[in-house]
């Protein structure tokens, strides 16, 4: 019996002593990584270039988003400007209802007067930098003829991007109860809702297509005409350089705040880091109502978590071969990914991408998209917009059946 116990003790000692050997190489999807202190209903941090998700929490849950809505609104306005459908120098005049909304402190940050006109450029900047609701409404009216038509355009846009179940009722992000008829679709108490994943897909599309938007969102101050003078307004993004929550080394240059009773205090942030661009999404930051920094503090927690625990590593070199199911693929260029600092790159596994994200490789003269399959939280569910072909019938050409009928009509 004593010998048996000695043998058991010896085995246990060997297991304990060799345990560090087996755990020294940490898999990228290991749960041993420390978790960021998000303190929010949901959130996500991802690489905008590749769509790789580094961390996410409740990312599929549809929640109220407030003025984060304006990312979609202002994307469509940007698109209209680029397509020449309106000019930055065009002058727009607010309706009486839109002007009156700017007298309510809880609904706006810039004052608009019904008897004055404002340039598209000033309204566009006001909607981005200080989240002016009436400015967003005026721009939507100009682009689509009415706000309800514009909401339909918003819905179609996100559907084209593969987003399903989006709840979009107005162009500003306010609760419909704050709006007059003609400013919204849906019921009187409806509110715009998206998931963190949805917003991530939207932001990637927007910044992929129009990165110049960041020239506006990086402005820490808005200059806007009021009466016969120019008034300055501080950006609502407190992480910008010169603002209260700025931290050196974390150079945020966007993107959008969102605040309603239902949405709480939310924020979509973006900043350049390690030769790529990082996007953070914090929805409904938790904490005391008087704490106006909580969404930005949660955002900082996400980027600190990334910088302290991960590295952007070269995982494949140019012209390197990857074998998947006995098929060989060759890379076009170096491939990068965010991995835990103690992760062994050779343990990455690859697969053919099921959507539009991934790196390009070639197999028998055919190009495909590949992704690293075990990077922890995977990638955004990103798809490019479908291009639908519209077939136009020739109205002056009769069908085969019509021609037969016509033949017999003239036969007698």
pLDDT number for residue 33: 57
Binding residues: 256
Average pLDDT over residues 124-131: 98
Q: Given this model, what pLDDT does residue 105 score?
A: 73
Name the percent of the chain lying above pLDDT 70: 85
Q: Judge whether residue 24 has pLDDT over 90.
A: no
Question: Scanning the structure block, which residue is given the tokens 């960021």?
Answer: 36
**What was the pLDDT predicted at 116?**
96
Q: How far is residue 140's CA from residue 74's CA, in Å, rounded to a whole number?
A: 9
**40-309: CATH homologous superfamily?**
DD-peptidase/beta-lactamase superfamily (3.40.710.10)
Residue 248 has pLDDT above 90, yes or no: yes
pLDDT digits over 289-342, tens only? 899 999 999 999 999 999 999 999 999 999 999 999 999 999 999 999 999 999
pLDDT digit string (tens) for 196-247? Answer: 999 999 999 999 999 999 999 999 999 999 988 999 999 999 999 999 999 9
Which comes out higher in pLDDT, residue 351 or 31?
Answer: 351
pLDDT at 356 over 90: no
SS3 233: strand
Helices (H) and strands (E) in the chain, counts: 10, 18
Query: What distances in angstroms separate CA 222 from CA 54, 219, 250, 270, one per listed residue?
Result: 33, 7, 22, 19
User: Is residue 63 classed as helix, strand or coil in its secondary structure?
Assistant: strand
pLDDT in tens, 89-112: 999 999 999 999 998 877 678 999
Task: Calculate mean pLDDT across residues 28-54.
Answer: 85
How many angstroms separate the CA atoms of 159 and 166, rounded?
8
pLDDT over 90 (residue 270): yes
Sorted by where each begins, the domain ranges of the chain are: 40-309
The continuous run of DSSP H or E covering 337 comes out as strand 335-340
Q: Which residues are known catalytic residues? A: 67, 70, 131
- Mean pLDDT is lowest, of 146-160, 168-182, 382-396, for 382-396
Among residues 331, 347, 337, 327, the alpha carbon closest in space to that of 306 is found at: 337
- Looking at residue 386, the DSSP 8-state letter turns out to be P
- Mean pLDDT of all residues in 3-22: 48
Most trustworthy range by pLDDT among 4-8, 318-322, 390-394:
318-322
Would you call the peptide bond into 255 cis, given omega within 30 degrees of 0 as the criterion? Answer: yes
* pLDDT tens per residue across span 63-91: 999 999 999 999 999 999 999 999 999 99
In this prediction, residue 146 carries a pLDDT of 98
What's the rounded Cα separation, in Å, for the pair 382 and 357?
6
Considering the chain, what is the average pLDDT of its residues?
88
What pTM was computed for the model?
Answer: 0.86
- Over residues 17-38, the mean pLDDT reads 53
Q: Is the pLDDT confidence value at 396 over 70? A: no
DSSP label at residue 389: P
**Residue 384 confidence (pLDDT):** 67
- Residue 360: closest CA among 389, 333, 380, 338: 333
Q: Please tell me the predicted confidence (pLDDT) of residue 8.
A: 55
**Residues contributing to the annotated binding site for substrate:** 256
């Amino acid at each position: 019996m004593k010998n048996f116990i000695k043998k058991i003790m010896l085995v246990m000692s060997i297991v304990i002593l060799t345990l560090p050997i087996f755990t020294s190489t940490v898999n990228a999807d290991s749960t041993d990584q420390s978790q960021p202190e998000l303190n929010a209903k949901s959130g996500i941090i991802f690489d905008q270039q590749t769509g790789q998700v580094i961390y996410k929490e409740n990312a599929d849950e549809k929640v109220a988003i407030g003025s984060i809505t304006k990312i979609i609104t202002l994307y469509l306005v940007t698109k209209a400007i680029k397509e020449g459908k309106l000019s930055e120098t065009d002058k727009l005049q607010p309706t009486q209802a839109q002007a009156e909304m700017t007298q309510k402190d809880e609904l706006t940050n810039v004052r608009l007067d019904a008897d004055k006109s404002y340039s598209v450029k000033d309204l566009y900047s006001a909607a981005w930098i200080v989240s002016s609701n009436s400015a967003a409404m005026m721009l939507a009216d100009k682009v689509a003829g009415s706000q309800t038509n514009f909401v339909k355009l918003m819905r179609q846009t996100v559907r084209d991007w593969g987003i399903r179940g989006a709840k979009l009722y107005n162009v500003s992000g306010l609760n419909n109860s704050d709006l007059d008829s003609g400013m919204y679709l849906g019921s009187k108490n409806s509110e715009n809702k998206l998931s963190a994943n949805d917003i991530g897909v939207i932001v990637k599309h927007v910044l992929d297509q129009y990165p110049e938007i960041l020239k506006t969102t990086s402005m820490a101050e808005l200059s806007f005409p009021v009466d016969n003078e120019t008034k300055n307004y501080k950006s609502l993004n407190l992480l910008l350089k010169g603002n209260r929550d700025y931290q050196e080394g974390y150079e945020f240059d966007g993107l959008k705040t969102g605040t309603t009773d239902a949405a709480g205090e939310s924020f979509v942030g973006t900043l350049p880091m390690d030769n790529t661009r990082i996007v953070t999404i914090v929805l409904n930051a938790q904490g005391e109502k008087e704490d106006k920094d909580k969404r930005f503090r949660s955002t900082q927690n996400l980027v600190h978590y990334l910088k302290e625990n991960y590295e952007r590593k070269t995982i494949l070199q140019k012209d390197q071969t990857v074998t998947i199911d006995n098929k060989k693929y060759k890379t076009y260029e170096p491939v990068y990914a965010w991995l835990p600092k103690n992760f062994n790159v050779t343990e990455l596994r690859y697969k053919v991408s099921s959507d539009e994200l991934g790196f390009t490789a070639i197999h028998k003269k055919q190009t495909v998209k590949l992704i690293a399959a075990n990077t922890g939280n995977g990638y955004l569910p990103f798809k490019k917009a479908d291009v639908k072909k519209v077939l136009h019938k020739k109205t002056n050409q009769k069908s085969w059946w019509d021609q037969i009928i016509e033949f017999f009509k003239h036969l007698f």
